[in-house]
Amino acid sequence: MRIEHDLKLGFKDVLIRPKRSTLKSRAEVKLERSYTFLHSQLQWSGVPIIAANMDTVGTFAMAEALAKHDMLCALHKHYSLQEWQDWLKQAGENIYQRIMVSTGTSDNDMEKLKAVLSIAPQLQFICIDVANGYAESFVDFVSRVREAYPQMTIIAGNVVTGEMVEELLLAGADVVKVGIGPGSVCTTRVKTGVGYPQLSAVIECADAAHGLGGRIISDGGCICPGDVSKAFGAGSDFVMLGGMLAGHDESGGQLVEREGLQYKLFYGMSSSTAMSKHVGGVAEYRSSEGKTVEVPYRGVVEETLRDILGGVRSTCTYVGAAELRELTKRTTFIRVQEQENRTFS
């Protein structure tokens, strides 16, 4: 046993220090980023915010709403081939830069991935997603997908430490997804005691990835637009959102009415709700590591997206970053013991 004494930080432990700036308005701030990915060598431009591949977030409807702002959607892995085919037919050619196909690592997942890619060879992003990205078998799976699809951009995760980011990049991932335990409907930290505060995970993993020419996604734990800015400020190349995009018309999930108020069902992908729906229940050897909650119904997602984009633009003006690209080098975090004033919350 060993104890690391360095204090690790989450979004709630810091604020961003304002800096003198010549920017006149947040309308001047450019949020688009352009990346050329390490292995695929594909070029991508867009606003690097991604809807999470949960079936109560990452839906076809969400992808269309996000694409209007040049943002991305990692589609959940439970769409049938027919659903994919029907949707792609009407979504138009421009959608391919804006969506990711998700997969787990089982044989069934691999078969399904192959089938989706065979009907939609224009897809550019594969998101290989497991709760625990530390298993050797996961690294092998990433290598196999890299061999099979050398021309595609591969995202792999989740991990939270630099050495594992490097291992996944060397195994063939272009982008590594970072986050264990910070999610709004995640119970991993409670059930297992395992985790890593997200801000520190991002800072450390970004450093490791950028050293090798790779990229990272900060996945989970953002509860407000300010957290999205903090993730970018910490060095993340992309930010993935679940809970912040839940509860909308586009989010999927059942609408529930109670005492005149409307709610939408939102659940973790390893919650008992998700497992009953997709694999017929929670396997005996594992506990469910996700919650099921009802979130207030919030209408169309458009206003929420504007709020997020407006928040990040405003952060950039506070620190004098004319482009999102400059945000990390213009960020100084201050450690704090307070966030917002909650008198009227």
Active site residues: 186
Least distance from C-beta 130 to ligand 5GP, angstroms?
10
Nearer Cβ to ligand 5GP (168/185): 185
CA distance 84 to 231: 32
Contact in structure between 23 and 320 (CB atoms under 8 Å): yes
Closer to ligand 5GP by CB, 55 or 167: give it. 55
The nearest distance, CB 254 to ligand 5GP, in angstroms, is 17
Coil, helix or strand at residue 120: coil
Q: What is the contact surface with ligand 5GP in residues (CB under 6 A)?
A: 52, 54, 131, 158, 179, 183-186, 188, 219-222, 240-244, 268-271, 289-290
Q: What's the min distance (Å) between Cβ of 276 and ligand 5GP?
A: 13
- C-alpha distances in angstroms, 7 versus 153, 177, 193, 200, 223? 34, 22, 17, 9, 22
The CA-based dihedral angle spanning residues 27, 29, 32, 35, taken in that order and rounded to the nearest 10 degrees = 170
φ, ψ for residue 106 (rounded to 5)? Answer: -80, 170
Q: Token pair of 7, please?
A: 């204090």
Residue with tokens 């999102």: 324
What is the crossing angle of helices 81-91 and 60-67, to 10°? 20
Cα separation, 190 vs 192, whole angstroms: 6
Residue 326 has phi, psi (to 5 degrees) of -90, -5
Closer residue to ligand 5GP (CB): 220 or 225? 220
Supply the minimum distance, in Å, between the C-beta of residue 8 and ligand 5GP. 17
Nearer to ligand 5GP among residue 29 and residue 185 (C-beta): 185
State which residue, 133 or 214, has the beta carbon closest to ligand 5GP. 133
Cβ 188 to ligand 5GP, closest distance in Å? 4
Strand 43-46 relative to strand 33-36, pairing: antiparallel
Query: To 5 degrees, how large is the angle CA 90–CA 308–CA 122?
Result: 30
